[in-house]
């Protein structure tokens, strides 16, 4: 691996590791979002605690953290066709395990969306439709995120034959997102997961 490639991987990680939600909470509200709402450093929790005014720019920045490595950093450092995706995966890892907040960041959905938006926009568009329908019908952002992540590698395989050689990286990306939602999946099974914009009432009494 060349020095330029090593530098690109490090830059991708540290870009992804910028704790956007944490900084927004600290700078604008003087709070640590890890102690409020879902305690997750993601745009959804920013919306719950701080509102759309802050959630939208946080979400856009988190998407950019994934798009910049695959569109700019990776291609500038290497001619290898799969290298930009590796940079994108490192950005997601940085977002999820941020060195700046004790390796406890967000769940990687927005940053992953930025990665795949730069590489497979049609698959992203279809996943976004699926995500929106599920969230609208169920009220569960986590459920929509997990389902969208689960179907994404299959959509890449179907619509982007040239990327099939590196499909395992897309599978890794999907697996990271699903794994980061494991607590949400447990709450969904128990009937205690928060719906978008309101709290769960808990499982119904027998």
Whole-structure pTM value: 0.76
pLDDT at 116: 87
Nearest to 45 by CA among 152, 174, 145: 145
What would the two tokens of residue 65 be? 């953290």
Angle at which helices 182-190 and 141-159 cross, to 10°: 120
At 198 the pLDDT is: 52
Beta-carbon neighbour count of residue 163 at 10 Å? 19
Distance CA(7)–CA(121), nearest Å, equals: 27
Collapsing DSSP to helix, strand or coil, 84 comes out as helix
User: For 83-96, what is each residue's pLDDT tens digit?
Assistant: 998 999 999 999 99
Question: Which pLDDT does position 201 carry in this prediction?
Answer: 44
Say what the alpha-carbon torsion angle 105, 112, 58, 10 is, to the nearest 10 degrees.
60
Question: What does the pLDDT read at residue 199?
Answer: 45
CA pair distance 191, 147, nearest whole angstrom: 18
pLDDT band at 64 (very low <50, low <70, confident <90, very high): very high
> pLDDT tier at 196 (50, 70, 90 boundaries)?
confident
Query: In the prediction, which pLDDT does 205 show?
Result: 39
pLDDT tens digits for range 103-117: 988 888 899 889 988
What is residue 37's predicted lDDT score, i.e. its pLDDT? 84
Q: How confident is the model at residue 81 (pLDDT cuts 50, 70, 90)?
A: confident
Q: How many CB atoms within 10 Å of residue 59?
A: 21
Mean pLDDT of the chain: 90
Contact indicator for 84, 6 with CB cutoff of 8 Å: no
Q: Whose CA is closest to 197, among 93, 48, 55?
A: 48
First to last CA, the chain: 60
Percent of the chain with pLDDT over 70: 95
The answer to whether 184 and 142 are in contact (CB under 8 A) is yes
Higher pLDDT, 74 or 197: 74
Contacts of 34 (CB under 8 A, 6+ apart): 22, 40, 41, 101, 104
Over residues 148-173, the mean pLDDT reads: 89
How many angstroms separate the CA atoms of 34 and 23, rounded? 11
């Amino acid at each position: 691996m060349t020095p330029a490639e090593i530098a690109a991987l490090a830059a991708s990680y540290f870009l992804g590791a910028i704790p956007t939600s944490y900084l927004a909470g600290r700078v604008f509200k003087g709070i640590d979002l890890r102690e409020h709402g879902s305690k997750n450093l993601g745009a959804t929790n920013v919306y719950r605690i701080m509102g759309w005014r802050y959630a939208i720019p946080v979400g856009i920045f988190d998407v950019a953290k994934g798009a910049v490595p695959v569109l700019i950093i990776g291609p500038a450092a290497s001619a290898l066709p799969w290298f930009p995706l590796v940079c994108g995966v490192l950005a997601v890892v940085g977002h999820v395990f941020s060195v700046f907040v004790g390796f406890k960041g967000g769940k990687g959905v927005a940053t992953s969306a930025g990665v795949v938006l730069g590489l497979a926009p049609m698959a992203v568009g279809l996943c976004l439709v699926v995500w929106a329908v599920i969230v609208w019908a169920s009220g569960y952002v986590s459920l929509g995120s997990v389902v969208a992540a689960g179907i994404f590698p299959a959509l890449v395989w179907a619509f982007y034959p040239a990327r099939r050689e590196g499909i395992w990286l897309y599978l890794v990306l999907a697996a990271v997102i699903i794994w980061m939602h494991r607590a949400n999946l447990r709450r969904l099974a128990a009937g205690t997961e928060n719906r978008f914009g309101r709290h769960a009432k808990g499982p119904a009494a027998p």
